[in-house]
Amino acid sequence: MVRLMKYLKLMFHVSILVLINNFIKNQKQTKIEKRIERYIPDMKHILMWTKLPNVEEEGQQYFITHKCEHINCYFTSNRSLLMDLRYFDAIVFNVQDVSSQSSDLPKVRSTVQKYIFAANDSADNYPVCSPVYERFFNWTWTYRLDSSIPYKFISVYNIHDEELGNNILWENFEMKPVSKLFISSLSSKSAAAAIYLDKCTTISRREIFLNNLKICLEPYNLTVDVFGPCGNKKCGRTSLRSCYYRIRTTYYFYLAFEDSIATDYITKSVLFGYNNLAVPVVLGGAEYSRYLPPYSYLDGVKLGERLTAKLMYEAIQNKTKYYEFFNWRNHYTIKESNVLDACSLCQLLNSEGWLKTRETYTTFRNWWNSNYMERCKAEKRLNMF
Ligand SMILES: *[C@@H]1O[C@H](CO)[C@@H](O)[C@H](O)[C@H]1NC(C)=O
Ligand SMILES: *[C@@H]1O[C@H](CO)[C@@H](O)[C@H](O)[C@H]1NC(C)=O
Ligand SMILES: *[C@@H]1O[C@H](CO)[C@@H](O)[C@H](O)[C@H]1NC(C)=O
Ligand SMILES: *[C@@H]1O[C@H](CO)[C@@H](O)[C@H](O)[C@H]1NC(C)=O
Ligand SMILES: *[C@@H]1O[C@H](CO)[C@@H](O)[C@H](O)[C@H]1NC(C)=O
């Protein structure tokens, strides 16, 4: 019934749109230049300047299927849907294009619409070099907690299935030990650590940390098995998925090293460890203690290679210590969340206060990546300054 109502409402909107469209088409084109009116007062039209990862559908479907609080948003990548670009409530620009400094940008702009920077990947992988993006974006939609519309790759929930949000301050209590039954599922483990590498050289230089860690593990007679295109180990097919069983049955630790070190950048790679009962050893630019339950991982950046290796060895030697890495499971769950969660985008487009506030990222390149000068120079994009 509710679905039907929504459908009828959508059809109503579309028919009004067509009517008004035809009406205006019959008028002189110049009229639009003078006065920009909304077609449908409560529908927010969002133009994806170029295709966004994760948003497959045009129209309202995303907001309906994801059961968003607000569904009066309309995604399109058709730049001429509304005859004039200034009719769109928001225009979303994709980090990959912004970073590759495409010269294809809108020629006209309304002062009330929002230009939004959307990023599904890290600032260090995609620095922005072109100065045209200073004083360009009104909002940002990224994994950074200080974005206008932040999203997460992973979310933590408590036992009441409540999402714990950002910047988690963990309650200080003694965690319950895991059961004997659970412990029995760890009994087949026999090798220290595995990693799946798809990019062999990275900006985070995780391959260097990995080599140092291997050297530090050697005196303990421990090794790291490298799977994927950059390693010599295979688990059936080449995909990561086919490695899940191997990780679960064989390895004590999973090395969840990010391909770039950037503020708040913690991708779902930790889940390959957590979901396969291998304790993650993390390497990245996020303050992990605000994202992951206490004593559920080892932080490679904080500990360094030598201490990481020592703690891995100690946990493998002393099983009581190793099992403690799983105690958090009695109190929390960790799940993958929606990258570029468009429900929050639609919510913000429905927030009067936010809409009325005029704002711009004046030094955008520096906000996104404070090291952008170096990075752009290194990539020989100097001519852009
Ligand atoms: C874009 O929208 C316009 C106006 O509704 C329509 O005429 C055109 O066919 C659309 N283009 C595509 C590729 O769907
Ligand atoms: C972001 O999207 C691009 C293009 O779809 C994809 O290749 C890339 O892996 C994505 N990045 C992340 C961190 O998921
Ligand atoms: C590593 O293996 C060697 C040779 O088998 C052995 O002598 C040494 O004690 C082992 N070291 C540790 C820390 O287990
Ligand atoms: C093993 O670890 C547990 C928990 O950290 C600790 O209480 C115990 O003393 C350790 N045992 C040995 C032999 O080190
Ligand atoms: C968006 O930024 C532009 C460029 O700085 C500015 O002119 C405009 O007023 C801003 N609009 C909103 C709605 O914040």
Which one, of 114, 120, 106, lies nearest residue 137 by Cα? 114
Quick check: 22 and 16 in contact, CB under 8 A?
no
Ranges 22-26, 48-52, 71-75, 274-278: which has the least confidence? 22-26
Tell me, using a 6 A CB cutoff, whether residue 53 lines ligand 2.
Answer: yes
- The two tokens of residue 162 are 């409540």
Same domain (yes/no): 233, 373: no
**Residue whose CA is closest, atom 3 of ligand 3?**
221
* Residue 217 DSSP symbol: H
Q: Are residues 324 and 357 in the same domain?
A: no
Same domain, 160 and 237: yes
pLDDT at 8: 59
Give yes or no for residue 383 having a pLDDT over 50. Answer: no
Beta strand pairing call for 154-158 and 332-336: antiparallel
Q: What's the average model confidence in pLDDT over 291-303?
A: 96
Paired tokens of 143: 């994994």
Same domain flag for 194 and 79: no
pLDDT in tens, 131-154: 999 999 999 999 999 999 999 999
Q: Which ligand is nearest to the CA of 314?
A: 4
CA–CA separation, 326 vs 310, rounded Å?
Answer: 19
Asked if residue 260 and residue 357 are part of one domain, the reply reads: no
CATH value at residue 228? 3.40.50.11660
Query: What is the pLDDT, as a whole number, of residue 173?
Result: 83
Same domain, 179 and 305: yes
**pLDDT tens sequence across 159-182:** 999 999 877 888 888 899 999 999
Shared-domain flag, residues 147 and 51: yes
Confidence (pLDDT) at 220: 98
What average pLDDT does the structure give for the chain? 88
Residue 320 scores a pLDDT above 80:
yes
Cα(122) to centroid of ligand 2, in Å? 10
Q: Based on the domain organization, do 206 and 299 belong to the same domain?
A: yes
Identify the pLDDT of residue 32: 45
Residue 313 lies in a domain: yes
- Residue whose Cα lies nearest atom 10 of ligand 3: it is 221
Confidence of residue 304 (pLDDT cuts 50, 70, 90): very high
Count of Cβ atoms closer than 10 Å to residue 22 Cβ: 9
Give the range of the structural domain holding residue 160, as residue numbers without chain letter.
Answer: 154-336
Question: What is residue 29's predicted lDDT score, i.e. its pLDDT?
Answer: 45
Decide: 221 in ligand 3 pocket, CB within 6 A. yes
Residue 9: what pLDDT? 63
Q: What is the pLDDT of residue 165?
A: 82
Note the pTM of the prediction, 2 decimals.
0.83
- Which of 254, 319, 331 shows the shortest CA–CA distance to 294? 331
Answer left, alpha or beta for residue 300, where phi above 0 means left and psi between -120 and 50 means alpha: alpha
The answer as to whether 177 is a domain residue is: yes
Q: Predicted confidence band at 385 (pLDDT cuts at 50, 70, 90)?
A: very low
68 sits in which H/E element: none
How many independent structural domains does the chain possess? 2
What is the distance between the alpha carbons of residues 274 and 385, in angstroms, rounded to a whole number? 44
Nearest CA to ligand 5 atom 5: 135
Determine whether the shortest distance from the Cβ of 259 to ligand 2 is under 6 A. no
Best mutation site among 178, 183, 314, 321 for ligand 4, i.e. most ligand atoms within 8 A of its Cβ?
321
The packing angle between helices 206-217 and 300-317, to 10°, is 30
User: Are 327 and 352 part of one and the same domain?
Assistant: no
Number of DSSP helices (H) and strands (E) in the chain, helices first: 14, 12
Residue 236, pLDDT > 80, answer: no
Which amino acid is located at 8 in the chain?
L
Residue with tokens 């679905």: 3
For ligand 5, whether the C-beta of 358 sits within 6 Å is yes
| Ligand positioned closest to the Cα atom of 217 | 3
Average pLDDT of the residues in 211-231: 95
pLDDT tens digits, one per residue of 89-109: 999 999 999 998 777 999 999
Element at 257 (helix H, strand E): strand 251-257
Residue 4 falls inside a structural domain: no
Distance CA 353, CA 160 (A): 32
Task: Dihedral sign for Cα 132, 135, 139, 144, please.
Answer: positive
Q: Whose CA is nearest to atom 5 of ligand 2?
A: 53
Alpha carbon nearest to ligand 5 atom 14, residue = 358
Q: Are residues 125 and 55 in the same domain?
A: yes
